[in-house]
Every structure is written in C-alpha cells, then in structure tokens.
Amino acid sequence: MKDSHPAIISREDFEKAQELMAERAKSKGNIEGNRDKYTNRYALTGTIVCGNCGNTFKRHIDNCGTVSESVCWICSTYIIGRKKSCGMGRVKEETIKGLFVKIFNQLYNDRAKLLGDYKAKLEREKLTELDNERIGKLDEEIERLIKQERALFDQ
Ligand SMILES: [Zn+2]
C-alpha cells in the first residue's frame, strides 16, 4: 500500500497546489537560486490591496529616527504621485496588525463551523468514492455472470 494514512487532501490536489505555487513564484521572479533578491522583505509586502484602486500597499516609515517614528503602509498609486487617482493614503501598521488579530480570532472562534462544512464535504466525497467502489464490484459481478451464462450456452 502506497499511502497508509488517509490524506486530508488528495495527492493530485497537493501536486496541483505545488505546481500553482511554483508558477506564481516564477511569475513574481522568485526563481530558485535567486530567492534572496526577490523574496518579499516584509510579511505584509504584496498582500495588502487597496480597496480604492486595486494597487498594493508599500511600507513606509514616518519621522524616521525620531521619537515619533511610526510605520505605515501607503497605496502605491498614492506614492507615485497620482494622489488624485487614489485618495486611500496611508494606514498605520499597528492598525493593520490589530485588524489581522481581530479577523484571525474571529476565524478561530468560527473554526468549528468552518471546518465542519469542510469535513461534511470530505465525507460526501468519501461516500461517492465508496459508491464508485461498490459500482465497480457490481460491474465485475455482472461481467462474471455474463461469462458464466455464455459458458453454459456454449456447452
Ligand atoms: Zn489606492
């Protein structure tokens, strides 16, 4: 037996996901061996999308080197100087982190419901698999009976 443990995701799905990730990395310039140069520097880089214009946010330090130094993220469209094309402006990193924790906690609290749906879906698929197996066995049985019948008539 190849896989003794039942997989949470199927082998095909896993391989498909790996392929997709490799493709995405390639399109972002994350080619193996060249990783350091292109790996995103911060966890949030490229992940915050402006709800106003669809561009990504960039990290920026306000009042760098002073006591009032603070990190914020600014819409790229806004930075390039097209302030008129996007009025989103800047968001404090602390605000983003706070929101992330809030959303994460909400998801964590709802995990039973979210995973419950997933579990039910998996069980439905498992049932179909069992059905297919049973149908396969019935097909074999029919085939066997037909052969038996033919053998009887041939005699
Ligand atoms: Zn924007």
- pLDDT on residue 34: 45
What pLDDT score does 67 carry?
A: 86
CA 74–ligand 1 middle distance (angstroms): 8
* Residues in the chain, pLDDT under 50: 1, 31-38
Tell how far the Cα of 73 is from the centroid of ligand 1, in angstroms: 11
All structural domains of the chain with their residue ranges: 9-39, 45-109, 111-155
How far does the centroid of ligand 1 lie from the alpha carbon of residue 33, in Å? 33
pTM above 0.75, yes or no: no
Q: How far is the CA of 71 from the centre of ligand 1 (A)?
A: 18
pLDDT, position 154: 67
Q: How far is the CA of 76 from the centre of ligand 1 (A)?
A: 7
Three-class HEC string of the chain: CCCCCCCCCCHHHHHHHHHHHHHHHHHCCCCCCCHHHHCCCCCCCCCCECCCCCCEEEEEEECCCCCCCEEEEEEHHHHCCCCCCCCCCEEEHHHHHHHHHHHHHHHHHCHHHHHHHHHHHHHHHHHHHHHHHHHHHHHHHHHHHHHHHHHHHHC
* Ligand 1 geometric centre to CA of 93 (Å): 16
CA of 138 to the centre of ligand 1 (A): 60
